[in-house]
Structure 1
Amino acid sequence: MTTSSASSPANASPLGVLHPRLLALIAQAREQAAATPPAVGLVYPCDTLAIQAAVQIAHTGIARPVLIGPRSEIYRAADAVELDIGAFEVVETHSAAPAAAAAHATRLVHEGALASLMKGSLHTDELMSAVVNRETGLRTGRWISQAFLFDLPRYHKLFTQA
């Protein structure tokens, strides 16, 4: 799946020492996903960080990344960091615009092909515009939630925002 030797967050010893509850959460997610990992739509993964995140998600076994956006840009980003994404499903969009990827991703959630969405290299407002669209979005009359987690290798704490 990957040609990189980067370790997963679940195997990184500083993470385990400093954040044992996060490791427990990852282990629980891995157990629940063991039989059938949920499909997570990575919307517009056209930069190296988004590709690295997809590879890491697949490597930990907590989900099956589905890459949604312009195929050539997705593969260009993967090639830039020498990561093999050949085993991943790539859903080509009709346009190279990030908004097209976001709209297509919400359709895939409606169709049941995706369990959740993850922001790639598009701007947050582009993704959220598709998600909250009254006709085609994912509105349910309930709260929408989001979360961010930043693991900074040179800092001893995780940064989160939810």
Structure 2
Amino acid sequence: MVKASVVAAIGAAVIGLSLGGAVPAGAAERNPHEQRARPGDDTSGRVQRGQASHYHRRLNGRRMANGERFSTRSNSAASRTLPLGTTARVKNLETGRVASVEIEDRGPYAHGRILDVSPRTAEELGMLEDGTARVEITPVEVPQRDGTTRPGAGAARR
């Protein structure tokens, strides 16, 4: 079975050649999971506050939105609004504990939650037992729609 992205790249090459035009550089090599912001993603780098939860251990090995497999021992996190590839500091507002995460997945899908973290990160934040915690997310580096990255609110405080 041929993937749609390969068919599209071949089609673009054929059209470019038949019209005598150039094919955009890298058109055939584009990764469908490349870390660029999507329309609607929050690329501002602003601080967010809200409720976080953690992934269940049974999700270990499943594919995330970026195409990688989830590991319970990683620093992976899921956000509905931050672009994939964003690095951020997460602070548990109840305990003051801080952990670094990388946004690699979409979610959480539970109402009222803004972030899902791996069990390892939940342990670092002191929220593994309770399952949820009120957190502050401070983006450090945020991918933009044009493929570049920009510093977030946390970049100056590294």
Give the shorter-chain TM-score range: under 0.3
Length-normalised TM-score, structure 1? 0.23
> Does 1 or 2 have the higher relative contact order (CA < 8 Å, sep 6+)?
2
Structure with greater strand share of residues: 2
Length-normalised TM-score, structure 2? 0.23
> Which structure's CA Rg is the greater one?
2
